[in-house]
Amino acid sequence: MTSTDRATERGGDRATARDTDGGDLLARHRAVLPNWQALYYDDPLEIVSGQGRRLTGGDGRTYLDFFAGILSNSLGYGVPEITEAVRRQLDTGVVHTSTAYLGRAQVEYAERVAELSGIPDAKVFFVNSGTEANEAALLLTTHARRSNQVLALRNSYHGRAFATVAITGNRSWGTSSLSPVHVSYVHGGYRYRSPFRHLSDADYIEACVDDLRDVILTTTAGDVACMITEPIQGVGGFATPPDGLYGAMKQVLDEYGIHFVTDEVQTGWGRTGEHFWGYQAHGVVPDVLTFAKGAAGGLAIGGVVARAELMDGLNASSLSTFGGNPLTMAAANATLDYLLAHDLQANAAKLGAKLMSGLRALADGTNIVGDVRGKGLMIGLELVEPGTDTPSPRAAGMVLAECRRGGLLVGKGGLHGNVIRIGPPLTLTEDEAEEGLAIASDAIGRVYEALV
C-alpha cells in the first residue's frame, strides 16, 4: 500500500469516526492539537451545520447562537447574498492571485473601508486576522517614530503573535515575557475592578488621563510609537469605559506626537449600535484603525487602515500573500452591502437595549452578577461569588453549561474567566432576542439557586 493509499484510508476512518463517535473526535483532537487550544464545555461541541442564527451540533441538537464564532459570523449562517457572492467568484476558477496583480474587488472594498473609517487620506492594507492587523499597526507606527515603545491598556487583548502578545495586558493570554517592544500599561478600559471605579464618569476620565501622563513621564523615554486601545475590551470580558475617555487621552498623546490606534476587531461594523466604529463614542479620530472578524461574514479577513503618510512610510517592499484575496473580498463586499442595506447597526442598538434591560433586571434579582455592561450586541455579565465582588469562574462555567443545556450558545472571557460574553449575529430578530434572554435568565437563576 502506498503512502497516498494509507492517507486516504485513514481519512475514511476519520470521517466514519466523526460521524459515529464524537468522543473519539475529542480524543483525536487532544492527540494532535495543542493543549492550550481550549474547548468550551466538559463535553465539547462539534458544529455540523447552521442557518440564520441557529447551529446544529454533532449531538443532533439545534442551538440559538449568541456568540457568532467569537463575533465573526456577523450575519449569521446560510445568508444567500454571501453564498452567491462566494459562488460567483468560485465559478471564475480564481480564489487566489496574490498582491502581485491588480484585484478589482480588493480595490473596491478598500475604497469603501477607507471612506467609512473616518481617517483622512486613508489607505488600507489587507491581511488575514486581527492578530496580523495589529502586528501591521505596530510595524507602521514603530517605524514612523523609530521607537519600539508602546502604550496599551490593562486587561487588553490584541492577538497571539510575538508583538501582539507583548501588548496584551491580560495575564491569562500573556504567554511570554519576551518582547520586541517596550510596553507600558495604563488604566481605563476595565472599570469594574479599577481603583477609580467609584468615581463619576468625568472624574474617572480625569484620573485615567492623569495616570496616562504619569506613565509616559515615568516609564518611557517620551518618544512612544503609539497607544493601542479596544473601544470595548473583547477577550477582557466586554469591559466598557465611559464615552470620551480616549478623546481625552488623545489630547495627551498629541502633546508627545504619539499615534493613536483603535483596535476595532470586535467593535466595528455597527456592533455597538450607537456608532459604526467603537472609537466614535470618544470624540476622537484615530491615526490607525484595525479590523477583522465579522467583516467578511465568517471568512478569514483582517485589515489595517492608516493615514497615507503612515501607510506609505515603510522603506522596503512588503505584501500579504493571502490578504485581500478574491474570494474573501467577494464575501467582504457582500457582507458590507447587506449590513448597510438592512441597517444592522440600528438593529444592534434596538435589540442590544432590549437584552441589556432584561439582563440588568435579572442581575438586580441575584447576587452572583456583579456587573452587566457593553453596548449594542456586545454584552458582558461578570459573575461573582454570592454576595461579594470576588470573581467566580465556577459560576461562569456553570452558566455557560446551563445555557447550552437550554439551547443557547454564549461565550466566556475576562481576566479571571468569570464573564459571560453575549455577541449574537447582527441579524438577530426580536423573537430570538426574547428567546435567548429567557434561556439566559433561566440559566442564571439555576446557577444562583445552586450557589446560595
Q: At 54, which CATH number? A: 3.90.1150.10
> How many separate helices (H) and strands (E) can be counted in the chain?
14, 15
Q: Residue 156 and residue 336: Cα distance in Å, rounded?
A: 27
Domain that holds residue 377: 22-78+343-451
Same domain, yes or no: 324 and 357 = no
| Helix, strand or coil, per DSSP, at residue 282 | helix
> Cβ distance 414 to 399 under 8 Å?
no
Domain boundary among 341, 370, 399: 341
Beta strand 302-307 with 182-186 is unpaired
Same domain, yes or no: 335 and 194 = yes
Asked if the structure places residue 192 within a domain, the reply is yes
> Cβ distance 406 to 383 under 8 Å?
no
pLDDT along the chain (452 residues), means of 10: 40 42 82 93 96 97 98 98 98 92 96 98 97 98 97 96 92 81 97 97 98 98 97 97 98 98 98 98 98 97 98 91 96 98 98 97 92 98 97 98 98 97 98 98 96 92
Give residue 6's identity as a one-letter amino acid code.
R
Same domain, yes or no: 321 and 415 = no
Same domain, yes or no: 298 and 400 = no
Looking at the DSSP bridge assignments, the partners of residue 235 are: none
Looking at the DSSP bridge assignments, the partners of residue 261 are: 228, 288
pLDDT for residue 173: 82
Domain boundary among 309, 326, 341: 341
pLDDT for residue 23: 62
Same domain, yes or no: 309 and 172 = yes
Same domain, yes or no: 217 and 239 = yes
Pick from 397, 402, 409, 386: nearest CA to 441 = 402
Q: Residue 77 and residue 51: Cα distance in Å, rounded?
A: 5
Pick from 170, 58, 70, 173: nearest CA to 410 = 70
Pick from 184, 282, 281: nearest CA to 226 = 184
Q: Residue 275 and residue 281: Cα distance in Å, rounded?
A: 7
Asked if the structure places residue 442 within a domain, the reply is yes
pLDDT for residue 220: 97
Same domain, yes or no: 45 and 105 = no
Asked if the structure places residue 14 within a domain, the reply is no
Helices 201-219 and 245-256: crossing angle, nearest 10°? 30
What is the side-by-side order of every strand in the sheet holding 62-65? 47-51, 54-57, 62-65, 408-409
Same domain, yes or no: 170 and 28 = no
Q: Residue 119 and residue 105: Cα distance in Å, rounded?
A: 21
Asked if the structure places residue 149 within a domain, the reply is yes
> Cβ distance 242 to 205 under 8 Å?
yes
Asked if the structure places residue 40 within a domain, the reply is yes
C-alpha cell at 130: 486581527
Looking at the DSSP bridge assignments, the partners of residue 375 are: 378
Q: Residue 424 and residue 30: Cα distance in Å, rounded?
A: 28
- CATH number of the domain at 225, please: 3.40.640.10
Same domain, yes or no: 161 and 235 = yes
Asked if the structure places residue 291 within a domain, the reply is yes
Q: What is the residue-wise DSSP string for 311-355?
A: HTT--S----SSTT-HHHHHHHHHHHHHHHHTTHHHHHHHHHHHH
CA angle 239, 133, 246 (to 5 degrees): 40
Residue 104 CA, chain-centre distance (Å), reads 28
C-alpha cell at 150: 508602546
Asked if the structure places residue 3 within a domain, the reply is no
Rounded alpha-carbon distances, angstroms, from residue 140 to 20, 197, 322, 323:
50, 34, 20, 17
pLDDT for residue 232: 98
What residues contact residue 438 under an 8 Å CB cut-off, 6+ apart?
none
Name the domain count of the chain: 2
What residues contact residue 445 under an 8 Å CB cut-off, 6+ apart?
362, 366
E strand or H helix at 6, and its extent? helix 3-20
Q: Residue 411 and residue 79: Cα distance in Å, rounded?
A: 23
HSE, side-chain direction, 13 A CA sphere, residue 36: 5
Same domain, yes or no: 250 and 165 = yes
Domain boundary among 303, 322, 341: 341
Q: Residue 390 and residue 370: Cα distance in Å, rounded?
A: 9
Same domain, yes or no: 185 and 324 = yes
Asked if the structure places residue 7 within a domain, the reply is no
Neighbours of 32 (CB within 10 A): 6
Same domain, yes or no: 63 and 112 = no
